[in-house]
Amino acid sequence: MIYQRSSQLFAEAEKVIPGGVNSPVRAFKAVGGTPIFVKSAKGAYLYDEDGNRLIDYINSWGPMILGHAFEPVVEAVIAKAKLGTSFGMPTELETQIAALAVAMVPNIDKIRFVNSGTEACMSAIRLARGFTKRDKIIKFAGCYHGHSDSFLIQAGSGAVTFGTPNSPGVTAGTAKDTLLARYNDLENVAALIGANKNEIAAIIVEPVAGNMGCVPPNKGFLEGLRQLCTDNGILLIFDEVMTGFRLARGGVQELFNIKADIVCFGKVIGGGLPVGAFAARAEIMNYLAPLGPVYQAGTLSGNPLAMAAGFAMLQALDNDRAIFQRLEEKTAYLAAGIDKVLKANNVVFTINRIGSMVSVHFDEAPVVDFQTAAKGDNETFKKFFHGLLQEGIYIAPSAYETWFITDALTYEDLDYTIQAVDKVSKTF
C-alpha cells in the first residue's frame, strides 16, 4: 500500500502541531514511519487520504464498539446539532443519559459528565481526597489514567513509548502524594498501605489494564484490593474509561461482581465524541459542588451533541444484551487463530484476552504487569505492525496498547486478519 498523501500531510502538520499530532499515541515514534491520515470510516473500516481501506483494530481507542459512523449515533448528533450545539445551561438529555448510565452500572447512584477520561480520573481523585480528608493515592505502574499531574509519576501507554515515564512539569510536591504499586501484586499494595497508615485517600486502578497491552487481573487481585480498601478506610476507584460499557453492560463491576467506590468512564459512554464521567454512591457524589465543598466544573460538560451521541450508544447497548457475547466470541476466534499461526511459524509470543480486548506480546512469559509487558521484543513488534499495515490492517502503533474489537467486524475480516498474521510472521 502507498501512503504518499499521508506523508505529505504529516510534514505539513509538523510545522504547526507539536510532533505533527494532537495526542502522542498517534505518532509512529515507537514503530518508525509516519502516521496514517484518515479521511473517513464506516463500520469496521478506515479509509485514508491515499484511498486505502484498513481493517480497524483500535476503533478510536475503544469507543466504536458498534463500528464507525453507527447510524443511530450519527442521526442523534445531526438532529441535536440542528437545535444548537452548546448552551451552557441544563438540558433534559443530560438527565436521561445519567439515569440510563446509573441503571446500567451497579453500585452507583449519581454521575457527573465531563469532557474526557483524563478529566474524569482527575476529578475522581480530587473527590476522594475531599471525601476522606487524606492526601495520598496509590496507582499502578503501567496503568494510565490520563495526563493529570497526579498520574504522570510512572505512566503506561504513550509515556512509556517515549521512554519518559516521569514527565517534566510534574512537581516534586505532587509526586510525593502518589505511591506506585505493581499491578497484580497485593503484597506490594499492602506494604504501601502499611507504610502510609491513615494517609491514603484512594487506590485507582484499571481493573483490566489496557495501557501495557491487555492485562487482566489475576484471580483474587481485585477482590484483595476491595478488602484492603474496606479495612483501611480507602476509596477504591475503578478507571473504566476503556472497560466501561465494553466488557459488560455494567463494566468490570458487573463482570467480576466487585464494588468500587468511584468509577470513571470515557470512550464508549460518549459514542465517539469527547465525553468522560465519574460516578459513585450518593454519599460520595454529594461532596461535589454545588452540594458539597469539592469543586469541579466544566463549561462544555454535558454538551448536547456529546450527550446525544452517548445516549444513542448506551441505548443501543442496553437494548441488545447479546452484543457482549458476540464480541466475546469474535475476540476469542481472532485470538485462537492468531495463536495457531504464530505457533506454526515458531514465533515467541503470548496473547492476553478478556471480552473484546486482546493483545499480542512478543515474549513467551506471561504478561501480568508492567515489568513483564516491558520484556516484549519491540523489534519484532515493529515488523508485525508494519507488516499488517501493508496488508491493510491497522493496530495501535505501540506494543503497550490493547486491540479493541468492534461488533462491525465480520468473520471474513477476522479470517483475513489471521491469514495476514500468518503471512507477516513468516518474515520474522
Classify residue 82 as exposed, middle or buried by CB count within 10 Å of its CB (0-12, 13-18, 19+).
Answer: exposed
Q: Please tell me which residue in 177, 239, 369, 413 is annotated as part of the active site.
A: 239
Q: What is the mean pLDDT of residues 206-221?
A: 97
Q: How much is the pLDDT for 223?
A: 98
Q: How much is the pLDDT for 2?
A: 80
What tens digit of pLDDT does each residue of 170-192 get? 877 788 889 999 999 999 999 99
Nearest to 50 by CA among 12, 15, 1: 1
Q: What is the mean pLDDT of residues 35-56?
A: 97
Q: How much is the pLDDT for 164?
A: 37
Q: What is the mean pLDDT of residues 214-230?
A: 98
Q: Judge whether residue 155 has pLDDT over 70.
A: no
Q: How much is the pLDDT for 154?
A: 57
Percent of the chain's residues with pLDDT above 70? 97
Q: How much is the pLDDT for 319?
A: 96
Q: Judge whether residue 159 has pLDDT over 70.
A: no
Q: Please tell me which residue in 110, 267, 330, 369 is annotated as part of the active site.
A: 267
Q: How much is the pLDDT for 106?
A: 97
Q: How much is the pLDDT for 166?
A: 62
Contact partners, residue 168, CB within 8 Å, separation at least 6: none
Q: How much is the pLDDT for 25?
A: 86
Residue 321 binned pLDDT confidence (cut-offs 50, 70, 90): confident
Q: How much is the pLDDT for 157?
A: 42
How far is residue 269 from each of residues 17, 202, 231, measured CA to CA in Å?
28, 24, 32
Q: Please tell me which residue in 144, 183, 394, 400 is annotated as part of the active site.
A: 144
- Whether residue 239 lies in the annotated active site: yes
Q: How much is the pLDDT for 175?
A: 80
